Amino acid sequence: MNRTVFKLIFALSISILWSCKDFDTNPKGLVNIILVDSPAQWDSVFVEILGVDVELITTGREDGTIETFFLPYAPGDKKIEVSSLIAGEALLLGRDELPSGKILKLTMKLGDEYYLYLNEKRYDMPLADPSLKEIPIQIEMDLEQAVSYDIVLDFDLEKSIRVTNESPLSLQLDPVVVAYKGAGTGEITGVVTPSALQPAIYAIQDGDSISTHSNSSGTYNFILPEGNYSFYYDPKNESYADTLVNNIEIVAGETSTLNLVNLKRKP
C-alpha cells in the first residue's frame, strides 16, 4: 500500500476512536447494556430511562468494597418506546469499559415520564410506588480484560403495566426487568513480535475499542461480538512503529487466527 495512503487511513481510523475517548493503557472489559421488550398487548409504551448503574467488585479488591459505574442512555430525549423493541429489535441503552472483576447487580434509573397511547389517546402511568425510580436487576457475571460482554435487559411490559380502573381507564407502572447474558460472540487469537515489547492491542469497531496486551510469548486473545474490526498495535516504544490491520471479520461461535504481526523498527 502507498505509504501516504496508509498513513491517511490510519489517521482517520484513530481520529474516530480518539473522538470518543483516549486509549486506556489499563485493559478493561467492554460492557454493552441492551434493552428489549417481551411482547405485550399494549402499543406505543414510552418509559423515560436515564441509564443503568453497574455494581461490581474489581479484581484484586480483598476488602469486598463495591464500586458503582453509571452507564447513561446518551440521547438527550430519554423517553424510549419500549413497546417497539420486539421481533429482533433492540436498543443499546449504555456502554462503557469497566475494570475486570465481578458484576453483582444492575440498577435501572428512571426519569419522570411513563405513558402509553391507546386509540390515539395518551394515558399517563404513574409508578405504583412513586418513591422508587431505581429498579434493581439481578445478575452476576465475571468481567475479564479485552472481552466484550452483552447484557440484555428484558423489560416485560405485560407484567409491568397494571390496570387500576377499567372505566375510565387508569394505569400504573410497576417495572419488571430481568437480565441475561447476550450471545453472538466469536474469538480471535494472534501473535505479535518482538514478543519482549508486549504491546497494547486495540480491537476497534465504529469508534469504540477494547484493549489487551500480548503475553511474554507475544500471544493475545479477544472475545468479541460478531462483525468487522480493525486491530491497532501500539508498541509503547519510541523505536518501533505502530501498526493497523483492517477488515478482520469476527464470526459468532468461531475461533479465528490473525496473521503474525511483526512490529518494525523506525527508519
pLDDT of 20 reads 41
Number of alpha carbons in the 13 Å side-chain half-sphere of residue 99: 12
For 88, the grid coordinates are: 429482533
- CA 147, CA 59: separation in Å to the nearest integer? 15
Beta bridge partners of 203: 210, 231
Domains along the chain?
29-181 (2.60.40), 185-262 (2.60.40.1120)
Where b means 16+ CB within 10 Å and e means fewer, 56-66 reads bbeeeeeeeee
pLDDT at 50 over 90: yes
pLDDT at 9 over 70: no
- Phi then psi for residue 14, to 5 deg, are -75, -35
> Per residue in 122-168, pLDDT tens?
999 999 998 889 999 999 999 888 888 889 898 988 889 999 999 89
pLDDT of 11 reads 36
- CA 54, CA 118: separation in Å to the nearest integer? 34
Q: What letter would DSSP give residue 59?
A: T
The mean pLDDT of 191-214, rounded to a whole number, is: 87
- CA 201, CA 204: separation in Å to the nearest integer? 10
